[in-house]
Amino acid sequence: MKRIFKALLFLLLCANAFGQDPDMEYFKTDTIGSDKNVQLLGIPVAFYTPETDFGFGAGVQWFFYHKKNVYNQRVSNLLVTAVYTTKNQILIDAKPQMYFLRGDYFLDGIFKFKIFPNTFWGIGNDTPEEAAESYNMKTIIVKAAFLKRLPPDLNFGFEYNYEQDIMLEVEPEGQLATDTIPGSEGAIISGVSVIFNLDDRSDQFNPKSGQLLQFNGGFSSKAMGATFGYSKFIIDFRKFWPIGKKFVFAGQAYLENTFGEVPFQTMAWLGGGERMRGYFRGRYIDQNMMVIQTEIRHQFLPRFQWAAFAAMGDVVPTPSQYLRSPKYSFGGGIRFQVLKSTPTLIRLDFGINAEGNTGVYFGVNQAF
């Protein structure tokens, strides 16, 4: 039975497709030899979230062993994936991650093409459930970040962001059809961000100690071809405390603020599999968002963990209105370490929010 279970997991390998727009991280077999400079690996993909229902597809990943970060042994790679969901959503991603000069410089890129039927309730933290309307949108995203390592654990650099959102279909009598919502006729985003992070976590995917402090501040400018001009600032702080040998207490504080003429596509979206599990990602949208969440993790068998989590967050039009009507969610789940030699986890979470709605999230690695 153990062999059958492992075989099924190999076939069901999950994308980290939590929420509306998944950043895809994949479980990879350990059969690639390190004696070659370049290796190619085929990857099956499967996942489930409230935003997508079941998703499945395939990908290929190239590993470039002659371009390695010698400080943490991470290998340069290019990942290309194609995914289709039971909600008729199409997602095609290409993600190069390349190290130069022994890892002192890092290029992190993203190309995304999406056709994504979705749900819109309006803007604000009190939109009613009956306001839900369907829409379909095509999106092209190109991002390229170039970072410099500042020993021992700091990274600093710049990122160019381009996004084109084309509205394919809206409900004739809905809010998006009135053209009063920024971005309801589509949007082009073009701008530059500054990135700074301090990362001394014990592991990138399943940390047991350490911290991550990341700042991203940038703008979209009409002078660079955008249809909307605004600025965005994101602070993401995560801390991990080991408790004995088998428990870990994890905490995260996430702050996202935007100022200016902001289309709804790039506003702060509450919910999803990473922040505020139990809320549909995009159930509440506004220009600013704050989320605080905690999680206790327990290793009860050599390759199994259980976890319990709780979160508080809100979206608001101005930062001064934070905590006036916060949202709450909580839940728990199971994690399974697929290979003894790697920290990669398969995660199954169940979340419930203060309004009684629930969400099931099946994917890879910890939520944060």
Domain containing 106 equals 2-364
* pLDDT at site 10: 43
pLDDT value at 83 more than 70: yes
CA distance 45 to 17: 10
Place of tokens 């309307």: 133
Q: Which of 279, 284, 271, 282 is nearest to 359 (CA)?
A: 279
Q: What percent of the chain is modeled with pLDDT above 70?
A: 90
| Close Cβ partners of 169 (under 8 Å, ≥ 6 residues apart) | 134, 135, 136
Of all helices (H) and strands (E), which one includes residue 4? helix 2-11
342 burial class (0-12, 13-18, 19+ CB within 10 angstroms)?
middle
* pLDDT at site 28: 40
Q: Is the dihedral of CA 273, 204, 346, 57 positive or negative?
A: positive
**DSSP secondary-structure letter at 244?**
T
Q: What is the mean pLDDT of residues 133-140?
A: 98
Place of tokens 């697929």: 338
Q: Which of 241, 235, 265 is nearest to 253 (CA)?
A: 235
CA distance 20 to 120: 12
Q: Which of 50, 15, 16 is nearest to 271 (CA)?
A: 50
pLDDT value at 232 more than 50: yes
Q: Is the dihedral of CA 93, 362, 10, 29 positive or negative?
A: positive
Task: Report the mean per-residue pLDDT for the chain.
Answer: 88
* pLDDT at site 16: 40
pLDDT value at 207 more than 90: yes
Q: What is the mean pLDDT of residues 252-256?
A: 98
Of all helices (H) and strands (E), which one includes residue 8? helix 2-11
Domains held by the chain: number: 1
CATH number where 269 lies? 2.40.160.50
Q: Which of 360, 243, 366 is nearest to 293 (CA)?
A: 366
Q: Count the Cβ atoms, other than its own, within 10 Å of residue 257.
A: 18
R_g of the chain, CA atoms, integer Å: 20
Q: How do 90-100 and 105-115 pair as beta strands?
A: antiparallel
Q: What percent of the chain is modeled with pLDDT above 90?
A: 73
Q: What is the mean pLDDT of residues 220-245?
A: 97
CA distance 148 to 106: 7
**DSSP secondary-structure letter at 368?**
-
Place of tokens 């009860």: 300
Using a cut of 0.95, tell me whether the model's pTM lies above it. no
